[in-house]
Structure 1
């Protein structure tokens, strides 16, 4: 074999091995994070009080399993081939009896399945976050919760848009795995601009909206600045999903021929980050508890976090439930109290945040 060709083959093999390691390592971490989330929630409220988001994340894990398997198959089964990145001369010369021809068909089908699985996974995680927000704002006025219901509408609409883009961008559908003649960019799933642009726009719009839902509520609270910042980091971690989605789209747009490989890698990272950031608010209290046992002096500020306390601005935390806080409100005559349960920094079984808002307008 020609030395240059042999070196290229070895480099391709090594890249495939590294990609496989990364794919399954990220998948394993994602599953472990989801298990930790379930453990934390079970400790906090018990299995009987699980809510829809506690189940949605596991449905998402099923799709994550399929998505990771498809990502692995792109290299191990299809050898990174699909119906994109081929000059017309090569398309015309490639015989249907050639093994490469079949590999490109298989790879193209994997790409289509990958887009559909990716969309289902990402949007299930978005729904899980919205259900979490409903729990977070339980007891607040309608003006807070209406934002969340608008979010449900936005998420469902953008999901339908993404799915429609996959199934309608290439008609007839079988052209998605057509080799010759060139089916056109829209029918090359790995680099299809209608799919890439629709998915990117849907992701950006929904992710930004989901990040902005809890932030104003958080900064209107009377939490100390350090806790506001910590909560903002936890709830705003979705920005990293945006970064991955942006890089994935940029690689395809800048280099339609070779960008699909890098886009696939960043797509795998994007779904991993989405799984982690969706579960992070629920496992943060668990992590904090572990950190307290390791570095109690570092987290000394929260040593009394299970005890009830009040501030002049009205922030108060209570142990379990809200009965004591309601009776205290009756004694003080406070009628401007809103209860937010399941705050990311305080689990439902540990604390509730009670915020007083001044009369507005």
Structure 2
């Protein structure tokens, strides 16, 4: 291949990389905007939670990572201190353009790994905060599982950061060209970094998936509903696939694998942002698709008002059922629950509930519902049934509105 042909091929490859990089970035930001819109629509601007803000911190980190990838390819020409023989290192002049490009690219690799670890850690923290919202009112044992998740994410984050900044000593060897600094100090293909970040991803991704899925499959939802909710909550498996492919390329081909690993690292970051937002935008997309698919895929029954403690995959407390509103109501306040109303006193008792008692709730009930029960309607909305305790009668009545 002649030099003009080689230059044209390189230019085409760079153009393809830029197109993919910024297309994925734009789509990820759009999905995050939709997530924020869905949350504001569901709970109001004043009731946004920590995960709604963490996701935008993650977008800033994703912006940093995408920008670094752009400069590494477009200004650093994809070069670093790896993929060179000893003779090539010795022959490379410190005054040459290639030498400076390799130093520049090597420094970007270190910063890129740092932004990647911070991005993934922030996204997983946002997922855990979302889980905290999802299980509010449930038994404390579910909260313990989530706090263990926080500890796991924090420990793997620290392990990755320590590996990045402690494995190569002195630190300046990360951009040393000659003599060969060794694999540990070649940021693009450093095996300690690759393995620690990969193991961290495997441990945390699997654990995060295993928090909601077993509880979901212990419910009375129909099989199709369980599968759909499992796909939404278990989408993190796609992040694992990207991380696995990235690791394989680096380990199998340390010379040319760094380029492919970089591409899959970009895709991994993109998929991580999408899967973190997916549970929150699911109700919004569901409502958009309902007029098209009708009741064949979605329930045609929608409660006019959600009860206190209403939970959705991505929803939260309904804006009309806030604490301030409840205090101003009389003792005979009625809450609509998919065609039912629950008479409440001003003093409400929030009981622990068992995930085994989750059931589908789409039609008015003709008999008393058991206390301590979560109701899940056919739109995957999780509702905690509140019931009153009368000091004299110590009973609960459920009647049609």
Given that residues 245 and 266 in structure 1 are in contact (C-alpha distance below 8 angstroms), is that contact kept between their aligned partners in structure 2?
A: yes
Q: Find the partner of 2:197 among 186, 196, 199.
A: 199
Task: Note if 1:15 corresponds to 2:7.
Answer: no
Given that residues 61 and 118 in structure 2 are in contact (C-alpha distance below 8 angstroms), is that contact kept between their aligned partners in structure 1?
A: yes
Query: Where in structure 1 are there 5+ consecutive unaligned residues?
Result: 310-317, 356-361
Alignment correspondent of 2:383: 352
Task: Note if 1:24 corresponds to 2:22.
Answer: yes
SS at match of 2:78: coil
Which protein is richer in helix relative to its size? 1
Alignment correspondent of 2:75: 77
Deviation at 1:297, TM superposition (A): 4.8
Given that residues 61 and 115 in structure 2 are in contact (C-alpha distance below 8 angstroms), is that contact kept between their aligned partners in structure 1?
A: yes
Moved more, 187-196 or 221-230: 221-230
Alignment correspondent of 1:302: 299
Deviation at 1:294, TM superposition (A): 2.6
| Cα offsets for 1:79-103 (capped at 9, x unmatched) | 0100000000010110011000000
1:6-155 residue pairs with structure 2 within 5 A?
6-155=4-153
Which structure would you say has the larger RCO, counting Cα contacts within 8 Å and 6 or more residues apart? 1
**Change beyond 3 A, Cα 1:180–1:73:** same
SS at match of 1:302: coil
Given that residues 284 and 345 in structure 1 are in contact (C-alpha distance below 8 angstroms), is that contact kept between their aligned partners in structure 2?
A: no
2:384 and 2:230 mapped to 1: Cα distance?
15
Given that residues 81 and 103 in structure 2 are in contact (C-alpha distance below 8 angstroms), is that contact kept between their aligned partners in structure 1?
A: yes
1:140 and 1:71 mapped to 2: Cα distance?
43
| Cα offsets for 1:101-153 (capped at 9, x unmatched) | 00000000111110000000011000000000001111100111111010000
Alignment correspondent of 2:155: 157
TM-score under structure 1 length normalisation: 0.88
| Cα offsets for 1:211-265 (capped at 9, x unmatched) | 1100011111222222211100000110000000000000000000100000000
2:280 and 2:125 mapped to 1: Cα distance?
15
Moved more, 221-230 or 45-54: 221-230
Given that residues 115 and 166 in structure 1 are in contact (C-alpha distance below 8 angstroms), is that contact kept between their aligned partners in structure 2?
A: yes
1:222 and 1:172 mapped to 2: Cα distance?
58
Given that residues 140 and 338 in structure 1 are in contact (C-alpha distance below 8 angstroms), is that contact kept between their aligned partners in structure 2?
A: no
Deviation at 1:335, TM superposition (A): 3.7
SS at match of 1:182: coil
Alignment correspondent of 1:230: 228
Alignment correspondent of 1:263: 261
TM-score under structure 2 length normalisation: 0.79
2:105 and 2:379 mapped to 1: Cα distance?
41
What's the RMSD between the two structures over aligned residues?
2.6
Q: Which has the larger radius of gyration?
A: 2
State the aligned residue count. 339
Task: Note if 1:334 corresponds to 2:365.
Answer: no
1:160 and 1:339 mapped to 2: Cα distance?
40
Alignment correspondent of 1:253: 251
Query: Where in structure 2 are there 5+ consecutive unaligned residues?
Result: 307-316, 323-333, 350-366, 387-401
Deviation at 1:339, TM superposition (A): 7.3
1:344 and 1:256 mapped to 2: Cα distance?
48
2:238 and 2:299 mapped to 1: Cα distance?
28
